[in-house]
Amino acid sequence: MIWIIIFWTSIFLLLYSYILYPALLRILACRKQSNRIVYSKNGDMPDISVIMSVYNEEKVLENKINSIYSTSFPKGKMEVIIGSDGSCDQSEEILRKMKKELTNFSFYHSNIRRGKPNVLNDLVSKAKGDILIFTDANVLLNESTITGLVKHFKNPEIGLVDSIMINTGIKKNGISRQESAYISMEVDMKHREGLVWGTMMGPFGGCYAMRKNLFIPIPDNFLVDDFFLNLNVLKNRKKSINDMKVTVSEDVSDMLMEEFRRKKRIAAGSFQNLSHYAGLLWPPYTSLSFSFISHKILRWFGPLFLILIIISNAFIFMRNEIYIYSIYLEGTLIIITIIDLIVSRFNKHIAFFRYVTHFFSMNLALSLGLINFLKGIKTNVWEPTKRNQ
């Protein structure tokens, strides 16, 4: 009997995280309105500091900085502070050149790699703005991006605002289509969490804004800085939201192994954040703990549920035909993944097979990320994900 309970409980928790919770959010958010307390004039906006850590971004850096200065946000209310984390390409030469051409532009460099969180901590300590804009080098802003983010801070209840990523470089081969679909689902869930409770479970990280007085130094060796800062905002009982009209563009990863490496790092960093902010899970009946468990924690432990489904199924498959069919289904999905990995080596791609592979690779990355966390994270330095540029 215990194996039957484990089997169905594991299935339910997986389905709840990926299907039932998103459906519940749709129902709860259907009559909710977005934040209406906003700045209507640029002249009323608070001063801001755009913060960016870069490492070997020579291919995208100049276009990125130009996209910041091409926004409609008043230049007199904006400063841009960039830190090079031991770049060994032409990034620092580009920054030196642009510093001569631009106003309110500061550039700092390190001779050694210290990790993005350490660079961000240093840059924020130099920032003068009331609002911090964190952004990545490979994410391009449009004319209204910064204004669209900052306008929400007229509402004193709001502590963090995220933008929406427009995926570029999507191809039929690789995994960019599957990753784009997953990101779109995540964005929709986060938007509805923000509408219903103001508990958006993490910015996507490429471009988001937060109040400077809610920033705390990112701990040494932490791998996921944006989620760490987001949880601190929620801990201080301020709202975290995204604005579906505020967009940026980013090149979506196309390479399975590159995306796998990125997700493994994020998984390890997610468990770091869970350990640090475990206190937010109590009391368990708050909107914050509910969304944290439903959206994040159950998904992080998805690999455990998959393993329990397979193990329990092996003990109960003789009890009913449904358990025999479930074993056939499990085997079929595993075979599909193996076939997809084989045919992809010959540049052949079957869309449905690739979705199955994407799901299993994501859960494998979560498993390995948990193992790395349990072994202890020794450094917060990592190689940026290779994109399709």
**Model confidence at 188: pLDDT above 70:** yes
Res. 236 pLDDT band, cuts 50 70 90: very high
**Model confidence at 22: pLDDT above 90:** yes
pTM to 2 decimals?
0.93
Res. 257 pLDDT band, cuts 50 70 90: confident
**Model confidence at 193: pLDDT above 70:** yes
Determine the average pLDDT of the residues in 93-100. Answer: 94
Name the phi and psi angles at 198, rounded to 5: 75, 25
More confident residue, 184 or 230: 230
pLDDT value at residue 171: 63
pLDDT value at residue 346: 82
The ranges assigned to domains in the chain are: 42-255
User: What is the gyration radius of the CA atoms in the chain, in angstroms?
Assistant: 22
CATH class of the domain defined by 42-255: alpha beta
Nearest Cα residue to 295 out of 25, 91, 3: 25
Model pLDDT for residues 307-336, shown as the tens digit of each residue: 999 999 999 988 999 999 999 999 999 999
Q: How far is CA 132 from CA 50, 111, 115, 246, 275, in A?
A: 6, 25, 19, 16, 26
pLDDT value at residue 304: 98
Q: List CB contacts of 376: < 8 A, sequence separation 6 or more.
A: none
**Model confidence at 389: pLDDT above 70:** no
